[in-house]
């Protein structure tokens, strides 16, 4: 019985964890080992008409999380004239629909000398609308302005997070994105 309780608690905790999907892309000829100092590109992010994204508090959170994440990886924040990398980011929100469906199951059974067969078919039984947020972090070559690395994080948005929860979410997404850097070739 205690194993069942532990299993149920683990399932509930896992359901509450964020589901951040991350990807990266990079210039194959980039020498990532030489990058040690960064600065923010001007502007560091594009403007948005979406009030959730045109939020100075969100931009402060992203700047702080990126700067902390890069410092933890040995980078220094410097003036743009001294930087090996310029940083820029993009944010986006899009509406998504998730359809719930039943599965297909085929089975056989044996009971009291008889064999039985069963079939369950797949059919839709509901949907869930939600918004999905995307954060893209770009590393640019300051001499050319060329993109050398891009990390992307995507996760479902929460309806009404507290400011503390927003900090936690931004730091989690940024950390997961930066965990991909430097790329393993």
The whole-model pTM stands at 0.77
**Hey, what are 29's tokens?**
């000829």
What is the DSSP secondary-structure string of 154-169?
Answer: EEEPPSS--HHHHHHH
Residue 134, exposed/middle/buried by CB under 10 A (0-12, 13-18, 19+)? Answer: middle
> For 50-79, how does the pLDDT look when each residue is reduced to its tens digit (9 = 90+)?
898 999 999 999 999 999 999 999 999 999
Task: Name which of 60, 56, 50 is nearest 94 in CA terms.
Answer: 50
CB 11 within 8 A of CB 143: no
Residue ranges covered by each domain of the chain: 22-95+130-178
- Residue-wise pLDDT tens digits, 71-125: 999 999 999 999 999 999 999 999 988 877 777 777 777 777 787 777 666 777 7
Q: What architecture is domain 22-95+130-178?
A: 2-Layer Sandwich (3.30)
Helix (H) or strand (E) holding 11: helix 2-16
């Amino acid at each position: 019985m205690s194993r069942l309780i532990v299993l149920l608690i683990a399932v509930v905790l896992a359901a509450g964890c964020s589901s951040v999907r991350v990807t990266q892309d990079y210039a194959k000829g980039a020498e990532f080992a030489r990058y040690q100092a960064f600065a923010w590109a001007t502007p560091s992010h594009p403007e948005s008409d979406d009030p959730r994204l045109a939020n100075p508090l969100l931009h402060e959170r992203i700047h702080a999380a990126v700067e902390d994440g890069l410092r933890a990886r040995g980078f220094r924040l410097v003036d743009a004239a001294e930087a090996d990398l310029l940083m820029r980011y993009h944010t986006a929100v899009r509406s998504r629909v998730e359809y719930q469906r039943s599965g297909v199951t085929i089975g056989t059974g044996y009971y009291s000398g008889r064999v039985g067969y069963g079939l369950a078919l797949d059919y839709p039984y509901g949907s869930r609308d939600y918004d999905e947020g995307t954060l893209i972090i770009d590393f640019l070559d300051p001499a050319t302005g060329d993109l050398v690395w891009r990390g992307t994080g995507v996760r479902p948005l929460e309806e009404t997070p507290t400011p503390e929860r927003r900090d936690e979410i931004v730091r989690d997404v940024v950390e997961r994105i930066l965990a991909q850097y430097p790329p393993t070739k």
